[in-house]
Amino acid sequence: MKLRLLSLLAVLPLVTACGIYSFSGTSIQADVRTITIPYVEYKALRVNPSLSANLTQALQEKYRKLTSLEQVDVDGDLEVVCEITGYEVAATAVTADEVAAQNRLTVTVHCTFTNRKYPEEDVDQNFSAYADYDSTLSLDAVESNLCQTIIETLCEDIFNATVAQW
């Protein structure tokens, strides 16, 4: 038992010092030190005036909390460029009278992740997240809460695809 504990204690500094893996779940190389996350552009047809700013802030906060990367305005070792390409509402559940019982708000984001030091880790991908709401409620009444839920999911998915590489 003591031998196993000593072995673990001897290996632990090596694992954390190499910089390739951290206990936050990221796999960022030790020589990667900066990240650029520019303002998220809004290109969807249906307009939500606060979504770009909220998503930008949430992405920056996610990387700030879960990595030790310094955020810089331009030319970071890593760059996460996103644009909102879809913002749509559709019926998801229909009653026997062919009336929508539930609606779904879906947000689609195109993300281009560039790793200037390790280009083989680049990602160019679309991410979608949604939240459902009762059709008796107007979108205006629930939009803020739905968007917050959707933003959390999008940030998690983008983070995992870029620096957690899941």
Task: Give the mean model confidence (pLDDT) for residues 145-155.
Answer: 98
pTM, 2 dp: 0.82
**Cβ pair 67, 28 in contact under 8 A:** yes
Residue 8 domain flag: no
Q: Which domain holds residue 90?
A: 31-164
CA dihedral 30, 16, 122, 62 (to 10 degrees): -110
The residue type found at 38 is: P
- Rounded CA separation 146/131 (Å): 6
Residue 12 domain flag: no
**Two tokens, residue 30:** 């030790």
Portion of the chain with pLDDT greater than 70, in percent? 83
pLDDT tens digits along 2-21: 544 444 444 444 444 444 44
Three-state DSSP at 145 gives helix
Q: Which helix (H) or strand (E) holds 10?
A: helix 2-17
Residue 15 domain flag: no
pLDDT tens digits along 30-87: 999 999 999 999 999 999 999 999 999 999 999 999 999 999 999 999 999 999 999 9
Residue 86 domain flag: yes
Domain total in the chain: 1
Instruction: Give me the CATH number covering residue 145.
Output: 3.30.160.150
Residue 156 domain flag: yes
**Cβ pair 35, 67 in contact under 8 A:** yes
Residue 2 domain flag: no
